[in-house]
Amino acid sequence: MTILTENKIQTFRDRLYTNDMPEIIRRGGEGLTPVKKYPEDERGYPLVPIKKITRFFLEEMGKAQFVLPNQYIEELCTLFKILIFDLPAVSFDLGVSISQNDIQEADNKTTIELLTTNVIITYFHLVKTNIGSQDDSLLNPDMQSIIKQSTAGRDYKHLVSNTLKGLIFSLAQDKPWFEYIQDINDADLICRLAGARLPRMEKTTLVSIISKSRQEIDGHNEIFTKLLYTRARTVSNQENKKEYFKSMDRLDTVIYGVLKKIDRFLAMTYQLHQILDLPSKSIIGDTFSKLRQNMQWLFFEVWPKALEQGEMPHQTAISALRYRMNILFSVPHITRFCREFTHTPEFQAPVNDLFQLMFKALADKIRQVSMEKSNTRADLERVERALFEIRRAIENLDPDQSQFTHEKEDVKIAYIALILKTDLESLEAVLSLCDMVCDVTHDKDREIMIRIRSVLMEKSFFPLEEYAGKKIPPKDAIPEISRRLQAFAVHYRPQREFYRTFFDTYIIAKPRPKVPHFTQFLMTNRYFAQAMLMHFANGKAMADLLPGSYIEKAGQLLNDLLEKTKASV
Amino acid sequence: MWSLGYLRIPQQYGNLLLKTIYMLEKLALQKKFITKAQCSQALEACRGADNLDLALKNYFEKENILTDKQMKALLATYSALKIIQKSQVFGNSAVDLGFASKEQFLQEMARQKKKIAENRQPEFIGKIWVQDQTLTQEQYQEIIQPLRKVQPAQGPARASKPLADPGAEQPGAEQIDYSLTRELACGVMLEVDVSGMTAFIRKTGKFKDTVTAAEIMEQLEDNGIVYGLVEPFEVEKFIASSEFRTRPFRIAKGTDPVPGKNARIEYFFDTDPLKAVGIDEDGNMDFKDRGPIPWVKKGCLLAKKFPMTEASEGRNVFDQVIPGPAVADRPLKSGTGVVCASGGLEAYAQISGTPSLDQSGKIQIRGTFTVPTDVSFETGNINYNGDIVIKGTLKAGFKAMGHVIHVGTVDGGKIHATGDVTVSNGMISGNVYARGNVSIGFVQNATIYCLGNLFVDKEILDSRIITSGAVMIKTGEIISSDITCNKGLFAQHLGTEKSVPNIVTFGVDTFTDRELKSISNQIEHIMERQEKIHEELDSLSKEIFRRTANTLRLVHEIDHARQENFLLSKSPGASSARGLKSQIQVNKRLLVRLDKELNQMLDRIEEKKSQREKFKVEAAQLENTLEKLRSEQGNFTQWKQHNPGVAQAVVSGRVIPGTMINGPDVSMEILEIRNNVKIFQTRVTTGGDTASGIDIVDNTNRK
């Protein structure tokens, strides 16, 4: 998870470069003294103190519970990129970099902070010396090279060796295995910031940590397995309903407790896997496949073979599936564990089944809303939540995007049908779901817009037909015609495409029987037809929306109509 | 050139004439009016003629190949054949639909054929039946509609269509009738469908199984059927088969064209920012609110083009190319402030500002938002995250919110600027708030708050001014106004004899004090809101946990019912025992109900989760706002420290009696007319005590 979000850095950047100050406070004016936050260099550029940047970065990192060395360096890189992109007219007060001796004497936490300070100073020194040049390479900094430059002229051998000694001492202590992680992590980060690498850990030390971790997960999984079997037995054998519910409630509470423990274990396994570059499978050991089996059983209805012969019926109701996912996604590290194994082809089937059902349920829900007489806000919120739910499932389980083509198409068809059916008032709310529909159907190219535009065009005539039923003088009808057309046009993007196509389709095209066309208004409500032409012929109002020739054409048609009307009178 | 058997027709003559020429040529050959060679020569000679019909006719006449009479006879025969063909299809449909009997149909067809034999023109059977009321108008339409040629699908017109020519027909929209029915010498009837995509043969009474596949193929080729023919062994099977006397055998099939895709551009900014009207909180139309004006940051993706994919052409049984539907390309055009990337498929913002899409489809970005007219109902309020130039008047009831704002005139409108404000002409009523300097022609009956200096050219009348800088109206007068300025006042005249006296407060930074108070209030309000959100989040988390726990009971019930049903269905005799079957049914209904209930409960949990997400987003936004406000608070506090008040007013003209002068610590009313004076707060010593006082001194030297 990202610690420094773009927004957070942007807010800091605004404050750092005093962009958050009104111009007059920064620059002053006639008789007005500016507030100068920083002293200026000989060119008049404010000297932004680097220590502010360092403090911000270290504070933000300090807020996170655990930061892996890779992530730490990536966050630093992101900070650099955002701070120097489109750099205003400033210079930097670099301060003094920390000496080798000061760093060597400090504890782990302080060492990391001091080394980080030096890296930041090095980077901004490069920026400062490059101000005004066309060199863009600093916009995408090579962190390895910057770290290397920050260590130039210093000998960190002693620091690295001391850090490793400290680590070896810490690893020799008898403590829970996960308590070693922070020590290894700190040592790794120090080594990296000092331009070195953490040496491969001694096999015996590693075996000792891993064997402890394996013992822990083995214990958890054993209880977990027993609980799952007991649960299965209770479902099959307990006939007394009262007892059944009592046992099940108790069992599920305990299962949830064990899941939390496993989740915490997997979180730490993940950290170890990241630091030592060891696959989770080797940290978990033999229990890995058993744990996977249990997770498949609990969350994906893949029953163990032994029980399968007992022929327990499979639960495929959407409610049960949603319930299971609700529980799964509340334990994020188990979710990641499941995501990893379901990426292996042989374990993909249950996840694919799950998504097939979810997409089907989503399409059904959209259709259900389509069938309602009018779409209330609550109905659409139901669809929105269903979209949220499936999007969350996609984010968490990351299924193969090329799968479920048919199901996704069905969702799109249902959505298009919903747009077609939706009344004018709810149209905006329905179309606001489009982005999410694109997300869940992996429509990155927004191909659905082709169909949406087509359906908007098809639909846009109906509200006019409906309004034409009312006998209203042309001048009074124009604003309503404009409003009704506008309701569709704004979603066509750009609207002028809508107006031109509308004009082509319903006004210029040859009328054909049973096909909606403007000429039908000439028969049913001539005043309305006149109002429509007046609307399109209004050069001032339509200038940005229709090509001039179309406005002229509308004017000609209007004149013809008025002449015919006059003649008939 | 495309070929039609032995007859070669230049493509530029158009497809429309093809059928006519083909039929005419067939009839002329049948009637032995012309030879094949003569036909080819005629077409070659008339190539490029504007009116091919006329050119051919003239050619035939000139070369004495066809007489007028022969030509007329040919055309009449052609027309009669067409009517008979059409009547045949229509009649068959009418019989199929049960609108007419077979006897009626055959009788009418016999009558029409008799007419031809008598050298009279036949009539369309549909028309006759409507006239003699065999068919109603509705029945006629029901038959004729499906028989009409397929029209191009309704839908968005192609962008390739010339914009300047609304109503112009698309070329090639008319369909060509390729239908053909002809008995071949080998005793088979050749039938080609109307689209020319399929050719069938069936055996006639003259068919003899001694005919060879090669003979059939040769005769088909003589009739132009050259593409998509079946393999000879299949023709041999046709010959050997006892069938295909009534049932047709498909001898050739064309290839359909594969449609392509038009190029498409998706825009990632609001291409049409000014909505017609907004809707206010009560659901009423708000003509002033037309939504915010889009603003994009440098580097932002503005548009993406999805290129067209060409259609692939097809071929009919005559080996003619059937072009796929035309596809249109659309260029992604970039103007000022926009840069194209990815080979012209993506457009990015080169500068921060307002993106716009012009009539020609060009995307541009401008750093300043310009309103060429007045700000009124036509434009709605202007809310823009950048500089604004309003060339007309800011009308009463409308607002302009932005950074640096230039306006022609303010007539009752409101301005909120985070930078400077310039009103070129003047301001009659209205309100200005600016975190910068304000320059204005004249001010009348208005309120101005500004962080910098206020520069006025002519006069300030009946207005209220609060500024953290100075008020400068060096060649004008201030009448009946209330002025509060921190850095002093510079004016020509302060009041007139007939007007209500002014109130002038100097050396006091009311603007900054108000800002600081407002920021404090906002911070307090946000912190209260944050507290409430945290409470809401806590309560929602508990609620979600409680509801999730409640779902357990339903899940267990479902598991139980499912298991029970499973066991029941496995019991011996389950399929026959009525009691068991009914219990299974009861359980199934229970499962459906439980599934529904559980879904509803999960919906409610999701609803709570979605509320929780919204609160989290709001909490993050509040945190961000709070951080900004705190920084702003610091900025204003520092500003105040850097800019202590200057308690003085310099008036180069007259100061009218009754004018109230307020210093930071003391006030004084001007009792007599004074000219060219400097008024300031000072320390006055009276009888050993020192107190603040207002002093007025001549300013002659300073002038």
SS3 B402: strand
**Chain A residues with beta carbon closer than 8 angstroms to that of B157:** 500-501, 504-505
Cβ distance A33 to B164 less than 8 Å, yes or no, reads no
What's the pLDDT tens digit per position in A171-184?
A: 888 888 888 888 88
Q: Does B623 touch chain A (CB under 8 A)?
A: no
Cβ distance B272 to A494 less than 8 Å, yes or no, reads yes
CB nearest A33 (choices: B451, B606, B643):
B643
CB nearest A493 (choices: B271, B435, B554):
B271
pLDDT value, residue A213: 87
**What are the distances in angstroms from CA B692 to CA B41, B197, B579?**
119, 106, 106
Residue B15 has pLDDT above 50, yes or no: no
pLDDT value, residue B49: 57
Give the integer Cα–Cα distance in Å for A251 and A223: 11
Residue B20 has pLDDT above 60, yes or no: no
Residue B240 has pLDDT above 90, yes or no: no
pLDDT value, residue B148: 55
Q: Does B598 touch chain A (CB under 8 A)?
A: yes
pLDDT value, residue B466: 97
Query: Which element (helix H / strand E) includes B541?
Result: helix B510-570
Least confident range from A15-24, A203-212, B492-501, B667-676: namely A203-212
Cβ distance A249 to B552 less than 8 Å, yes or no, reads yes
**A485 and A538 in contact (C-beta within 8 Å)?**
no
pLDDT band at B671 (very low <50, low <70, confident <90, very high): very high
**Chain B residues with beta carbon closer than 8 angstroms to that of A245:** 553, 556-557
Residue B12 has pLDDT above 70, yes or no: no
* The residue to which tokens 């009463």 are assigned: B396
* pTM of the model as a whole: 0.74
Give the integer Cα–Cα distance in Å for B15 and B258: 20
**B442 and B426 in contact (C-beta within 8 Å)?**
yes
Mutation site for B-interface testing, chosen from A2, A9, A23 by largest number of B Cβ within 10 Å? A23
Least confident range from A234-248, B23-37, B650-664: namely B23-37
Least confident range from A76-90, A503-517, B157-171, B503-517: namely B157-171
pLDDT value, residue A498: 93
List B422's β-bridge partners, or say none. Answer: B406, B439
pLDDT band at B575 (very low <50, low <70, confident <90, very high): low
Q: What does DSSP say about strands B482-485 and B503-506: parallel, antiparallel, or unpaired?
A: parallel
What's the pLDDT tens digit per position in B539-561?
A: 999 999 899 888 888 888 888 88
**B485 and B463 in contact (C-beta within 8 Å)?**
no
* The residue to which tokens 């406000």 are assigned: B629
**Chain B stretch 91-110, residues whose beta carbon is closer than 8 A to a beta carbon of chain A:** none
Residue B111 has pLDDT above 50, yes or no: yes
pLDDT band at B17 (very low <50, low <70, confident <90, very high): very low
SS3 B493: strand
Question: Comparing C-alpha atoms, which of A9, A12, A35 is closest to residue A23?
Answer: A35
CB nearest A248 (choices: B436, B437, B556):
B556
Residue type (1 letter), B506: F
Give the integer Cα–Cα distance in Å for B20 and B23: 5
Mean of pLDDT values over B424-438: 96
Where is pLDDT greater, at A98 or B418?
Answer: B418
**Lookup: tokens for B523:** 């911070």
Cβ distance B436 to A23 less than 8 Å, yes or no, reads yes
Q: Does B419 touch chain A (CB under 8 A)?
A: yes
pLDDT value, residue B342: 92
Least confident range from A332-336, B215-219, B439-443, B615-619: namely B215-219
For residues B387-419, one letter each, b for 16 or more C-beta atoms within 10 angstroms of the residue's C-beta and e for the rest, the string is bbbbebbbbebbbbbbbbbbbbbbbbbbbbbbb
**A42 and B463 in contact (C-beta within 8 Å)?**
no
High-pLDDT (> 90) share of chain A, %: 49
Cβ distance B606 to A389 less than 8 Å, yes or no, reads yes
Mean of pLDDT values over A501-527: 88
Cβ distance A508 to B166 less than 8 Å, yes or no, reads yes
- Residue B448 has φ and ψ, to the nearest 5°, of -130, 125
CB nearest B562 (choices: A7, A315, A493):
A315
**B234 and B340 in contact (C-beta within 8 Å)?**
no
Where is pLDDT greater, at A160 or B22?
Answer: A160
Cβ distance A318 to B271 less than 8 Å, yes or no, reads no
Give the integer Cα–Cα distance in Å for A344 and A360: 24
pLDDT band at B701 (very low <50, low <70, confident <90, very high): low
Question: Comparing C-alpha atoms, which of A514, A479, A516, A502 is closest to residue A553?
Answer: A502
**A313 and A301 in contact (C-beta within 8 Å)?**
no
Cβ distance B555 to A323 less than 8 Å, yes or no, reads yes
Residue B158 has pLDDT above 50, yes or no: no
Whether the upstream peptide bond of residue A494 has omega within 30° of 0, thus cis, is yes
Mutation site for A-interface testing, chosen from B266, B373, B546, B560 by largest number of A Cβ within 10 Å? B560
Residue B2 has pLDDT above 50, yes or no: no
Q: Does B628 touch chain A (CB under 8 A)?
A: yes
**Lookup: tokens for B32:** 């032995």
Mean pLDDT comparison of A109-123, A461-475, B674-688, highest-scoring range: A109-123
What count of Cα atoms within 13 Å lies in the side-chain half-sphere of residue B609? 19
Give the integer Cα–Cα distance in Å for A474 and B425: 40
Give the integer Cα–Cα distance in Å for B352 and B483: 38
**What are the distances in angstroms from CA B186 to CA B193, B202, B205, B515?**
21, 11, 11, 103
Where is pLDDT greater, at B168 or B368?
Answer: B368
**Chain B stretch 551-590, residues whose beta carbon is closer than 8 A to a beta carbon of chain A:** 551-560, 562-563, 565-566, 570
pLDDT band at A207 (very low <50, low <70, confident <90, very high): confident
Residue of B nearest to A390 (CA): B606
Measured in angstroms, the CA of B485 and the nearest CA of chain A are apart by 12
Residue B578 has pLDDT above 80, yes or no: no
Cβ distance B359 to A544 less than 8 Å, yes or no, reads yes
pLDDT band at B9 (very low <50, low <70, confident <90, very high): very low
Residue B76 has pLDDT above 90, yes or no: no
Residue B424 has pLDDT above 90, yes or no: yes
pLDDT value, residue A202: 72
How many CB pairs lie under 8 A apart between chains A and B?
Answer: 198
Give the integer Cα–Cα distance in Å for B338 and B349: 5
Q: Does B469 touch chain A (CB under 8 A)?
A: yes
What's the pLDDT tens digit per position in A397-422?
A: 999 888 899 999 999 999 999 999 99
CB nearest A31 (choices: B157, B487, B548):
B487
pLDDT value, residue B290: 64
pLDDT value, residue A461: 93
Mutation site for B-interface testing, chosen from A12, A25, A324, A480 by largest number of B Cβ within 10 Å? A25
Give the integer Cα–Cα distance in Å for A146 and A138: 10
**Chain B residues with beta carbon closer than 8 angstroms to that of A25:** 451, 635-636, 638-639
Residue B172 has pLDDT above 60, yes or no: no
* The residue to which tokens 């029953």 are assigned: A303
pLDDT band at A350 (very low <50, low <70, confident <90, very high): confident
pLDDT value, residue B153: 31
* The residue to which tokens 């779409």 are assigned: A375
**Chain A residues with beta carbon closer than 8 angstroms to that of B277:** 483
- Residue B684 has φ and ψ, to the nearest 5°, of -115, 135
The C-alpha angle with vertex A451 and arms to A466 and A489, in degrees rounded to 5, equals 50
Mean of pLDDT values over A330-338: 94
Q: What is the dihedral of CA A269, A270, A271, A276, to 10 degrees?
A: 80
High-pLDDT (> 90) share of chain B, %: 43
CB nearest B469 (choices: A32, A381, A486):
A32
- Mean pLDDT (chain B) is 82
pLDDT band at A558 (very low <50, low <70, confident <90, very high): very high
Residue-range domain boundaries for chain A: 6-164, 203-342, 350-458, 460-568
Residue A434 has pLDDT above 90, yes or no: yes
Cβ distance B552 to A453 less than 8 Å, yes or no, reads no
- Residue A246 has φ and ψ, to the nearest 5°, of -60, -50
Mean pLDDT comparison of A245-249, A325-329, A411-415, B99-103, highest-scoring range: A411-415
What count of Cα atoms within 13 Å lies in the side-chain half-sphere of residue A243? 7
Least confident range from A146-160, A324-338, A422-436, B501-515: namely A146-160
pLDDT band at A307 (very low <50, low <70, confident <90, very high): low
Give the integer Cα–Cα distance in Å for B42 and B61: 11
List B315's β-bridge partners, or say none. Answer: B255, B321
What's the pLDDT tens digit per position in B375-409?
A: 988 788 998 888 999 999 999 999 999 999 999 99
Cβ distance B469 to A30 less than 8 Å, yes or no, reads yes
